[in-house]
Structure 1
Amino acid sequence: MYKLQVVKELHSSEGKMILDVDISVQQGSFTSIVGKSGAGKTTILRMLAGLVKPDKGSIHSGEDIWFDSNTRKNKVPQERSIGFVFQDFALFPNMSVLENLKCVQSEKDEEQIKELLSLTGLTALSGFRPDALSGGQKQRLALARALVRKPKLLILDEPFSAIDQETRIRLQQEILKIHKAYNLTTILVSHDLTEVLRLSDYVIEIGNGKIVRQGNTDLFFSNEGKTDQFRMTGQVVDLICENEKCFAYVVVGTMLIKARVEDSMNTALGIGDLVVLSLNDFNPIIKKIKP
C-alpha cells in the first residue's frame, strides 16, 4: 500500500491554500484523483514522485519510507520506483524514439525495449524524433519511457488532455492493458469523468486542498446528484447486454445513469457518443446526438 499523509502550503491565483491530505492507495489498484483546477491534485502526484517536498508529514510505500519530516528522510525520485507521465510529454527533442528509451533505462535490456516498442505500437518509428510524431505517438513514447525503468507505481498527470477523442479512447484502452500486464499500481489525475470511469476502480475527489469524498468508482458516481431533470446531456461510457436487453451507461456531470437502449439503436450507438436522456415515468430514454 502507498500511504501519503502530508501538509503543504500552496499559493494560487486565489491566494494561500493549505493542502492537507491523508491518502491510501492499494497495491495493484487504478486510482483516479479528481477535482477543480488549483485544488492540489498535481502537487499530490509531485510529492509522491519526490519532485515537491511536503512541509510536514510522511510518505510510505509499504514498509519503505520515502519521506518523513520528523526524521528528515527524503528519498530522491530515482529511489522511489515511479514512472511519471507528464501533460507535456517531457521528451528529449534531439533524441530518437529509441534513444529516448535507452537514455533513462537503468540497466541495458534490449528485449524490454523491443517489448515496450511493440506494446505501444512504436517499433516502426524507433528512429524518428518526437517532432515527427503525432500527439498520440508522443504520448505512447512518454508512457513507454515511464515504464522502461520497471516502476511499481505509474503516475499519470492528465496524459490525454491534448489528444483528440478517438486517439484518447484508444490510448485509455492501452493504458488499462499495460496496467494489468505489468501488475502496476496506477494513479491518474484527470478532469474527464468518462476517462476516470473507464479506467479507475477507486476515485478520490480533492477540493481546496482537502479530500471531499472518495470511494469505489461505481459508488462514487452513482451516489451524487439527482435524476429528476426532464432532459440531460451526457456521454456513453459503456454498453452491455443482459438477457437480450441492451443498456448504455451514461455519465451526466458526476452521475452514472443506466439507460435501456432500444433495439433500433443497438448498432448505431457507441462508446464516446454524446446523448440526450429524457425521463418518462422515471425511466431514462436515450437519444443519440448527431455529430
Structure 2
Amino acid sequence: MKRVSFAEFGGPDVLRLIDAEEPHAGPGQVRIAVRAAGVNPVDWRIREGQVLGAHPISLPSGVGLDASGVVDEVGEGVTGFEVGDPVFGEGSSTYAEFAVLSAWARIPAGLTFEEAAGYPSVVETALRVLREVGVRPGQTLLVSGASGGVGSAVLQIARDRGIAVIGTAGAANQDYLRSLGAVATTYGEGWVARVRQLGRVDAALDLAGSGVIRELIELTGDPEKVISIADLGAPALGVRFSGVAGSVPDALAEAVDLISRGRLRIPVEKAYPLAEAAAAHADSQAGHTRGRRVLTV
C-alpha cells in the first residue's frame, strides 16, 4: 500500500510517499480502507519533533491521526461494527491507503468522507480546552485564532452551551466567524482595545500560537483563565498548555450528537491527494485556514 512517511525531523520536504506493508487490526481496533485523512497542526509539530513528550515516535514514521473510510478488518473483541461500515475516528499513520483506528464512530448521515475526516482530533481538542478553561453558560470566551478547525468547533460548541464568544481572525474570515455565532474582530495592531470595546472577557483560548499570551492574561486578569494549544512558551507565563488528549470515544459520540442535531458543521477548505501531503502541511503551517484541510485517497 501507499503511505506518507518521514525518516528525519524537518520541514514539509521530509515527507515521502512510500510503499509500505499493510497494518492489521489488533484487539479492540478496526482497520479501514482510508477515504480521507485529516491534516492537523499536531501532525506537522510531530514531523518537526516539537512534541515528542506527548507523541513519542521512532523513525521512520508514518503521519496522521484522523481518518474516515470503510471498515475492512475488525479486531478481536470489537462488537457492533462489521466490514463495510463507513466510520471516522482516530488512529495512527492515517496518511495511507489503509489505517488502523483505536477510536471510531459511524459517519453521521449527510456527511461526506472528506468532511468526516476533519472532525475527530479537532472536536476532542475543542471539548477538552472548553472543559479546562472552565468557562460557563452566560460567560464570554475570547478565542484567538478562531477560524481554523479547532476554532470552528469551539465557536459552535460554545454557542450550543450558551457561552458567548469573541473570536479573532484575519479580515477575510470575519463573516465566517459571525456565521458560527461569534462576535468577530481582527487581530493585529490595536486588537486588545477592540476586544475591550466588545465587553468583558471571562476566559480565553490561544489556538494559533501567535504570541498573544500576555495580552490574553491582561484581558482575563488571570493566567489560570487562559489555555493554549499552540504556544509552547505559554507555561513560562503561568498559562496551561493543553496537549494531552482526553477520551476520543466520548468526543466522537458528542460530535455525532452535535452534527446530527445540526449544531456542528466544519467545512473543508481544501482537499489534497495523498501525494501532496507536503503541500498540505506547508499550507497548514502558513495559517489563515477556514475550517479544515484533508488528504484524499
Q: Max radius of gyration: which structure?
A: 1
| TM-score above 0.5 | no
TM-score (normalizing by structure 1): 0.24
Q: Pick the structure with more helix per residue.
A: 2
Q: Pick the structure with more strand per residue.
A: 1
TM-score (normalizing by structure 2): 0.24
